[in-house]
C-alpha cells in the first residue's frame, strides 16, 4: 500500500456508488483512484472527497492499469468555497486543472504539489486576484523549465508550448477576476 500527501483535483462518477478521484500527490504526481462505495450513505469516505481538499491518502496499486484503489483519505485541510468566493473557486479550478495537466503520472512532483498547496491556501486567506494568477503561472513555468528570464516568452506561451495548451478554465477564472475587480 502506498501513502502520500495529496490534493483532490477532480472527481467523477464511476458507478451508482463509486467515484474516480484524480489527485496531485507529492510522491507520485497525478494519481487516479477509485473510491468504491464513496457515494453510499455512511461510507468512510463521506465528507472527505471534495475539490481541492488536501489529504493524506493510502491506495493500492493496480496490477493492470492506471486506476488504483483508494483505501483511506484523512483530510488535512478542506477548501471552503464560501471563504474563497466565486473568483477564488474558479482560480483554484484553473490551478488544479493546469497542475494535473503538466504533472507526470506516477512520478514525483513535489514542487508542483507544493505550488498548488500554497496557491490553494492563499486563496483561502486572500481575495483572488490577477497577481496570484500571474505568480502561479510564472512559478509553474520555472518548475517545468520553460521560464524565459528575458521576458520574450510569456508564461502562457511557455505553458502552451508543453503540448497540452492552456486549459479553458483559465478564461472562466479571468472572467470572474474581472467581474470582481470591476465592482457593481
Digitized pLDDT (tens) for each residue of the chain, 184 residues in all = 999 999 999 999 999 999 999 999 999 999 999 999 999 888 899 889 999 999 999 999 999 999 999 999 999 999 999 999 999 999 999 999 999 999 999 999 999 999 999 999 999 999 999 999 999 999 999 999 887 777 777 888 888 888 778 999 999 999 988 865 433 3
Looking at residue 15, its pLDDT comes to 92
Q: For the beta carbon of residue 113, count every other beta carbon within 10 angstroms.
A: 25
Q: 97-111 in b/e burial notation, b at 16+ Cβ within 10 A?
A: bbbbbbbeebeebee
Cβ burial of 84 (10 Å; 0-12, 13-18, 19+) is buried
Cα–Cα distances (Å) from 58 to 82, 94, 175, 184, in that order, read: 29, 26, 37, 46
| Domain regions of the chain by residue span | 2-77, 81-182
∠ CA 31-59-12, nearest 5°, is 50
Looking at residue 110, its pLDDT comes to 97
Which CATH superfamily does the domain covering 2-77 fall into? Nucleic acid-binding proteins (2.40.50.140)
Looking at residue 183, its pLDDT comes to 35
Calpha distance 23→55 (Å, rounded): 10
Amino acid at each position: 500500500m502506498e501513502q502520500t500527501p495529496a490534493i483532490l483535483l477532480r472527481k467523477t462518477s464511476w458507478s451508482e456508488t463509486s467515484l474516480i478521484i484524480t489527485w496531485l500527490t507529492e510522491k507520485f504526481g497525478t494519481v487516479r483512484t477509485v473510491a468504491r462505495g464513496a457515494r453510499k450513505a455512511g461510507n468512510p469516505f463521506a465528507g472527505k472527497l471534495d475539490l481541492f481538499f488536501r489529504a493524506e491518502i493510502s491506495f493500492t496499486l493496480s496490477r493492470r492499469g492506471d486506476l488504483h484503489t483508494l483505501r483511506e483519505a484523512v483530510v488535512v485541510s478542506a477548501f471552503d468555497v464560501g471563504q474563497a468566493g466565486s473568483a477564488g473557486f474558479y482560480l483554484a479550478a484553473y490551478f488544479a486543472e493546469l497542475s494535473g495537466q503538466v504533472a507526470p503520472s506516477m512520478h514525483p512532483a513535489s514542487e508542483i504539489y507544493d505550488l498548488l498547496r500554497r496557491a490553494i491556501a492563499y486563496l483561502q486567506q486572500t481575495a483572488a486576484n490577477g497577481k496570484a494568477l500571474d505568480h502561479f503561472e510564472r512559478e509553474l513555468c520555472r518548475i517545468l523549465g520553460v521560464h524565459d528570464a528575458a521576458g520574450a516568452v510569456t508564461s502562457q506561451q511557455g505553458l502552451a508550448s508543453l503540448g497540452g495548451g492552456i486549459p479553458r478554465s483559465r478564461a472562466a477564472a479571468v472572467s470572474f477576476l474581472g467581474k470582481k475587480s470591476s465592482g457593481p
